[in-house]
Amino acid sequence: MTKKDKLSSIHIESLNLWSHVGVLDHERLLGQSFLLDFTIWIDLESAALNDDLSKTADYSLAIKSIQQLSLEINCLTIEHFSERILEKIEALYGDVPIQITLQKSSPPIDGFNGSVSITRSRNLHLL
């Protein structure tokens, strides 16, 4: 069995973020709501078998780090915001497979009351 065969995933869903991201000046000035889902793939076998916290990923670190980033960032695009999120996750867990979906909850588009999201990934070739 290879290391790839032992990878499991940790999913964080519906992380509410408030951030200053958008093309319009008032979006960057006032901020708006975003939702983030992300998944990391790591070897969880030892943590599972031995109930060993040191062998798993402390996902609370990612949540806190991303929440802080969302308060600090001021940019035009959700693409850039997503890039910075990916960088934060990589800084914590290294070159592991990651997938994120970042949703802009209420984009200011006349006549549109839905949401817009992008999905990005890193290192999925390691799966």
Expressed as residue numbers, the domain containing 75 is 3-126
Could you tell me the pTM of the whole model?
0.93
CATH code of residue 105: 3.30.1130.10
Question: Residue 2 and residue 14: Cα distance in Å, rounded?
Answer: 32
| Residue numbers in the chain where pLDDT is lower than 70 | 1-4
- In the chain, the number of structural domains is 1
Q: Residue 104: name the closest of 41, 28, 40, 10 by CA.
A: 28
Q: For residue 57, what are its two tokens?
A: 């990923």
Question: Residue 93 and residue 102: Cα distance in Å, rounded?
Answer: 19
Encode pLDDT of 83-118 as tens digits.
999 999 999 999 999 999 999 998 999 999 999 999
Question: Residue 65 and residue 91: Cα distance in Å, rounded?
Answer: 10
Per-residue model confidence (pLDDT) at position 62: 97
Q: Residue 37: name the closest of 115, 108, 125, 127 by CA.
A: 115
Q: Is 100 helix (H, G, I), strand (E, B) or coil?
A: strand
Per-residue model confidence (pLDDT) at position 3: 64
